[in-house]
Chains A and B, each alone.
Chain A
């Protein structure tokens, strides 16, 4: 995301904020390592007079996160961020939140396509969905309380790409894909590039509102496996998670609770609203899967995702601030 923003000349300054070090080379971005503590966020917002916050730290994979830290990251993190953005005299003009279509759930009673204002049809069963719903209600309250701000929420379908690891990509990288025997639901995917481009698009154009983001079309789960050359690992229709648990324990696959409904009933979201707002996708759902499959082939052949990058703070500091570096020659 920051990389994409860097290429925009009118963006004066980018401030990266995260608990982990960045995995991609950033030229102009100042990176601050922090967690979601209110005091720090508030101080940063005040000190830097930022006008736009792009909130991408929501955890949408509950495999490696405990119930408590999921709540801590998603709900409390958002709460603090919004509080910092909404303080009196804050310079923030725009907030963009990256959410997930997991918020719609997946059940047999679902329509084939969810639009942004379709209510979910099933009760909330997983903690991830619960936390996302809580986050979005916080964002909604924030929007209502701050009508002068541009607040946008992007709900992304299953993301595939080399940089973002989701349970689905984790499994596909190992050339296996858990499914529930006898079910072959239709699913949507969105390519990582489109994720970044969508975030950039709403940020640059200051588009407010809630938008679904997913590649065009849907494809059957079995077709995903076939495009990626993965084997389907059938789990029994009754209590599939109990059977997946030992496999998950030995890290053979990932099958988080929120995935169960998805591989049973699938999910489709209508992306018309964002497209009508002018956004253009580069990948369809099947295209996203294919692009991931290609990247996966490369990774299998070379053992890496192309050039690896390690963030080294001292080196970064040197290049950015040392008077010894001659500026204007190489960025």
Chain B
């Protein structure tokens, strides 16, 4: 990326105004949106940088705070450092680490992310007019596995959820998604810089357990995004329940998020498997957007009203850290989460009067 040629302080400085902007925007949301149950400012204070490093805030000076945050994150990323006995740590200073960009071990760059947030914000606020319910159920500290229903030929829910949580709670969200993204030039890199992480159990465990961060997964996977409009809001199979197993192993709660609106933002009318095969895509959809707007429809969403409802966190009464968990238990839990989410979706749809105005 071109950005990396910038010096370290520059990045910190560039990240700075965006944080300020975010803060003032938060004020706006509070005004506009009485449903926003969070007073976002303290939340932002608490979650400055990432929640795992408390000392980031005590740094006083903003630049050093950001640096401390990144360094602490990195130090933690390479977890072993903390395993050293205290004496050994004091004897040997941390080796000098002359990083120039703020790209973390997952490829996420807060700098890049803040640019994307600024670009995406009008879309989030004025196009989708996203609204949250129960956002206070997402913890400000500690790991949690967020799961949501997934929809849209090019799903519009993932960026909206990540953007919403990062703006409102001020803590990063890592979006776990199919490896396939990594193989696409440019898109794969951008995906990674803006918080995308290949969904591998080891990656998920490290994010949730070792780093106590938020991870977002869509347990239905591409089965959900490839479904046609006739199947809207019908949850697909929740994979093999892998998300439950990971949450158990990491000892973190699962927090389901029901999302209404994404289904209608880019509905699939039918799929052409032959084209998908020829292009090497998971599926090739013909969307309503494409019929209305032509090729531009493949990159333009309908201006649907998006609503998110955060459901109660589900904690598991299982011993963390095991290699394997009872298959039947995992499947039962996954199925019950799926049922809860499906109920919430039906409930939200019952209340919805218009696709466009909510």
Residues of A within 8 A of B (CB): 108-113, 115, 118, 180-184, 186, 215-220, 222-223, 226-227, 237, 265, 268, 270-273, 275-276, 278, 280-284, 286-287, 289-290
Contact = CB atoms under 8 A, between A and B. Distances in A.
CB-based closest 4 A-B pairs: A182-B185, A272-B80, A111-B202, A275-B80
A273 to B, nearest CB: 8
Contacts of B183: 108
A184 B1 contact: yes
B103 A216 contact: no
Q: Which of A113, A115, A282, A289 has the most CB of B within 10 A?
A: A113
Contact of A186 (B78, B96, B103): B103
Contacts of B95: 215-216, 281-284, 287
Interface string B304-334: 0000000000000000000000000000000
Given A184-B189, A286-B98, A223 B103 contact: yes
B4 A284 contact: no
Nearest to A265: B182
B176 to A, nearest CB: 11
Interface string B201-218: 111001000000000000
Given A111-B202, A112-B206, A276-B80, A218 B4 contact: no
Given A217-B78, A271-B78, A108 B189 contact: no
B97 interface: yes
B106 A112 contact: yes
A220 B103 contact: yes
B97 A287 contact: yes
Given A184-B1, A227-B98, A280-B92, A109 B189 contact: no
B100 A223 contact: yes
B198 interface: yes
Q: Which of A180, A216, A287 has the most CB of B within 10 A?
A: A216
A217 B105 contact: yes
Interface of B: 1, 4-5, 74-75, 77-81, 83-84, 88, 92, 95-101, 103, 105-107, 179-180, 182-189, 197-198, 200-203, 206
Contacts of A216: 74-75, 78, 81, 95, 97
Nearest to A234: B185
Contacts of B198: 108-112
5 contacts: A112-B202, A183-B185, A217-B74, A270-B79, A272-B79
Contacts of B96: 283-284, 287
B103 A182 contact: no
Contacts of B81: 216, 275
A113 to B, nearest CB: 7
A110 B105 contact: no
Given A111-B203, A222-B1, A275-B84, A186 B107 contact: yes
A41 B179 CA distance: 47
Contact of B99 (A115, A271, A283, A286): A286
A155 to B, nearest CB: 15
A273 B185 CA distance: 34
A217 B97 contact: yes
A237 B201 CA distance: 28
A290 B96 CA distance: 10
Contacts of A223: 4, 99-101, 103
Q: Which of B75, B96, B184 has the most CB of A within 10 A?
A: B96
A218 B105 CA distance: 6
Given A108-B183, A216-B74, 13 more contacts: A110-B198, A112-B198, A182-B187, A184-B1, A216-B75, A217-B99, A223-B103, A268-B105, A272-B79, A278-B88, A284-B95, A284-B97, A290-B98
Contact of B4 (A110, A215, A222, A290): A222
A219 B103 contact: yes
Contact of B197 (A112, A184, A283): A112
Contacts of B101: 219-220, 223
A183 B99 contact: no
A109 B202 CA distance: 12
A185 B95 CA distance: 23
A223 B112 CA distance: 14
A219 B81 CA distance: 18
A98 B58 CA distance: 44
A108 B201 CA distance: 14
Contacts of B84: 275
Nearest to A285: B97
Given A226-B100, A276-B83, A220 B185 contact: no
A217 B77 contact: yes
B179 A108 contact: yes
A133 to B, nearest CB: 21
Contacts of A227: 98, 100
Nearest to A278: B88
Contacts of B83: 272, 275-276
Nearest to B84: A275
A80 B127 CA distance: 69
Contacts of B88: 278, 280
B80 A181 contact: no
Nearest to A290: B98
A213 B311 CA distance: 44
Contact of B105 (A112, A226, A278, A283): A112
Given A182-B186, A287-B96, A110 B5 contact: no
A213 B105 CA distance: 17
A265 B185 CA distance: 11
B80 A183 contact: no
A226 B3 CA distance: 10
Contacts of A115: 202
Contacts of A268: 105
A106 to B, nearest CB: 11
B203 A183 contact: no
A218 B180 CA distance: 22
A217 to B, nearest CB: 5
B182 A226 contact: no
Contacts of B75: 216
A186 B104 CA distance: 9
A223 B99 CA distance: 8
Nearest to B98: A290
Contacts of B186: 181-182
